[in-house]
């Protein structure tokens, strides 16, 4: 499977509100399927399992069986890949632009201060 296919699966998985909420629930710690079902009482167990399968195929959830329980772990690496490809470069460009703006504003403020100080000195010297 190509990297583009993997990204498509991640975006499709995260396009659903319930699946994003499941990922949010798994951020702090792994949860059993039973715990996830309890966290989403408006959804039946079959539907929770369907959402988990979509998240697993996208590589966002890894299920580990321990005895009769199935622990669902969030794997944030696919989200990190999205960040590195799209968000990081845009954030870096935005930060660089803000840095240029700040330097420009600081330079303009210094120029105004120098002009004001020079103007004040001229008046002082002229009055003497």
CB 36 within 8 Å of CB 18: no
Which of 65, 58, 69 minimizes the C-alpha distance to 23? 58
Cα-atom radius of gyration of the chain, to the nearest Å? Answer: 28
Note every long-range contact of 81-86, with CB atoms under 8 Å and residues 24 or more positions apart, other chains counting.
81/6, 81/7, 81/10, 82/7, 82/10, 82/11, 85/7
| Model confidence, pTM | 0.67
- Return the domain boundaries, the chain: 3-75, 77-128
pLDDT in the model for residue 119: 63
Starting at the edge strand found earlier in the chain, the sheet holding 69-74 runs 31-32, 69-74, 61-66
pLDDT in the model for residue 90: 73
CB 72 within 8 Å of CB 36: yes
pLDDT in the model for residue 76: 87
pLDDT in the model for residue 128: 47
pLDDT in the model for residue 97: 82
Give me the sign of the Cα torsion angle 119, 124, 126, 127.
positive
Give pLDDT tens digits along the chain (128 positions).
Answer: 678 888 889 999 999 999 999 999 999 999 999 999 999 999 999 999 999 999 999 999 999 999 999 999 999 888 887 777 777 767 777 778 888 888 888 887 777 777 666 665 545 555 54
pLDDT in the model for residue 86: 74
Q: Which CATH code is given to the segment(s) 3-75?
A: 1.10.10.10
């Amino acid at each position: 499977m190509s990297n583009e296919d993997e990204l498509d699966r991640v975006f499709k998985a995260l396009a659903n509100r319930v699946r994003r909420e499941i990922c949010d629930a798994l951020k702090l710690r792994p949860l059993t399927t039973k715990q996830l079902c309890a966290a989403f009482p408006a959804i039946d167990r079959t539907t929770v399992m369907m959402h988990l399968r979509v998240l697993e195929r996208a590589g966002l959830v890894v299920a580990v069986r321990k005895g009769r329980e199935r622990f669902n772990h969030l794997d944030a690496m696919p989200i990190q890949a999205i960040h590195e490809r799209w968000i990081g470069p845009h954030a870096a460009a935005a930060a660089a632009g803000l840095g240029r703006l700040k330097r420009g504003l600081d330079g303009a403020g210094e120029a105004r201060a120098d002009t004001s100080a020079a103007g004040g000195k001229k008046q002082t010297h002229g009055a003497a």
